[in-house]
Structure 1
Amino acid sequence: MENKTDSQLWEEVEAFFVENFDTDKHPQIDTILFLIGVQELGSGQQKYTKDDKLNILHIAVCRLLEPFGYYKFSHYDDDGYPHFDELEQLPELKPNEQQILMKKAIIQYFIDEELFK
């Protein structure tokens, strides 16, 4: 992992999802967020309602942005859903800036969770 660029690390992230989840070669960010959210929720593969899917995406975003100081884990509710407190409001970002931030956050998640080979 040493001396690798963000671009090279992102390719490894994409390869991880292709190998482990049979996604497209270049999975959409929302697909990656959903799978990370399911992992964080610990609920595994099942049918989810539209509201569940939105909650799962929110869980992923909060978890991914936690190391950047935007959110802090608060507690689990009675249904086992993690809750986060907002520590700092996200700045207004253009769509491409949002994508860059999420890619950096996903790479950091992979580093923190030791998912890179």
Structure 2
Amino acid sequence: MSMDAQETEAEFEARWWQLMNEMRERFGKKPDLNALLLLIGVQELGQGAGPFTKEQKQDLMHIATCKLFSLSGHYELERVDEEGWPHYKLLQPVPFANLKEQERMLKWHILEYFDKWMKD
């Protein structure tokens, strides 16, 4: 589903909570936004679940954020380094008026990502 002006806030929230329930069933606890970013980063890296250092976890969350915002054309994958880590290039700044908007856009992209990931 694309980011659609037709989708009401209630529909968006319902989709978000459905994903949270699916993640709780899969992992045994409800993840927060950072845990979801870490999960996406690990998925994008494709090298298994770790263990990762604190710095690597921050890098994984950055990879996830870039991947998510690549869905709306803000980033693109530039290269994968010799260790298999993806590197993204900023194409256009992500416009945010406030933190709430940023979180909503991230959540929307997470929903889009998991819709595709769970279908593949």
TM-score of the two chains, using structure 1 as the length reference: 0.85
**Deviation (angstroms), 1:40:** 0.8
* Corresponding residue number in structure 2 for 1:5: 11
TM-score of the two chains, using structure 2 as the length reference: 0.83
Pairing 1:22-33 to 2, within 5 Å after superposition: 22-24=28-30, 27-33=31-37
Match of 1:18 among 13, 24, 31: 24
Residue aligned with 1:47, SS: coil
Match of 1:65 among 64, 69, 74: 69
* Corresponding residue number in structure 1 for 2:4: none
Determine whether 1:112 maps to 2:85: no
* Corresponding residue number in structure 2 for 1:88: 92
**Root-mean-square deviation over aligned CA pairs:** 2.0
Distance across 1 between alignment mates of 2:13 and 2:80: 34
Distance across 1 between alignment mates of 2:60 and 2:89: 16
**Deviation (angstroms), 1:109:** 0.8
- Residue type at the aligned position of 2:47: S
Distance across 1 between alignment mates of 2:26 and 2:46: 16
Distance across 1 between alignment mates of 2:87 and 2:98: 26
Distance across 2 between alignment mates of 1:99 and 1:14: 15
Residue aligned with 2:92, SS: coil
**Deviation (angstroms), 1:43:** 2.1
Deviations 1:3-28 (A, max 9, x none): 8921121112112211222223xx21
